C-alpha cells in the first residue's frame, strides 16, 4: 500500500461540507479542516501509484469547491525510514 498526504485549497465558505464529501471517498483515511486558511488536509491510501492517481484526480478533484491539491506521496520515503 502507498500512502499520501494531500493539502487541498478550497473556495468554499463552508469547508465542512467538502470534508464530509471527501470522507465518503474510498481510499481517504482521514480528513482535517484547517480553520482560517480555507484548506483541508487528507490522508489517502491506495494499492499502487495508479490507485492514488485515481483517488486524487478522478475523485478528490471533482468534489465541489476544491480549487487545487498538493500531494506528498510517501511510498519511497516510508520504506527508507522504516528499515
CATH code for the domain in which residue 25 is found: 3.30.70.920
What does the pLDDT look like over 56-81, one tens digit per residue?
999 999 998 899 999 888 765 555 55
Structural domain contains residue 43: yes
Q: What is the maximum alpha-carbon separation in the chain?
A: 43
Structural domain contains residue 32: yes
Cα of 20 vs its chain's centroid, Å: 13
Structural domain contains residue 69: yes
What does the pLDDT look like over 1-31, one tens digit per residue?
889 999 999 886 678 888 999 999 999 999 9
pTM (2 decimals)?
Answer: 0.80
Structural domain contains residue 81: no
CB atoms within 10 A of CB 44: 25
Inform me whether the pLDDT recorded for 45 exceeds 60: yes
Structural domain contains residue 29: yes
Structural domain contains residue 71: yes
Mean pLDDT calculated for residue range 45-54:
92
**What is the total count of domains within the chain?**
1
Q: Which domain holds residue 39?
A: 2-75
Decide: residue 14, CB within 10 A, 0-12 exposed, 13-18 middle, 19+ buried: exposed
pLDDT of residue 76: 57
Grid cell locating 74: 510517501
Amino acid at each position: 500500500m502507498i500512502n499520501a498526504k494531500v493539502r487541498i485549497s478550497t473556495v468554499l465558505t463552508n469547508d465542512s461540507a467538502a470534508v464530509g464529501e471527501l470522507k465518503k471517498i474510498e481510499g481517504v483515511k482521514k480528513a482535517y479542516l484547517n480553520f482560517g486558511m480555507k484548506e483541508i488536509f487528507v490522508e489517502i491510501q491506495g494499492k499502487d501509484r495508479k490507485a492514488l492517481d485515481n483517488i486524487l484526480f478522478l475523485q478528490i478533484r471533482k468534489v465541489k469547491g476544491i480549487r487545487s491539491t498538493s500531494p506528498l506521496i510517501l511510498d519511497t520515503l516510508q520504506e527508507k525510514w522504516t528499515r
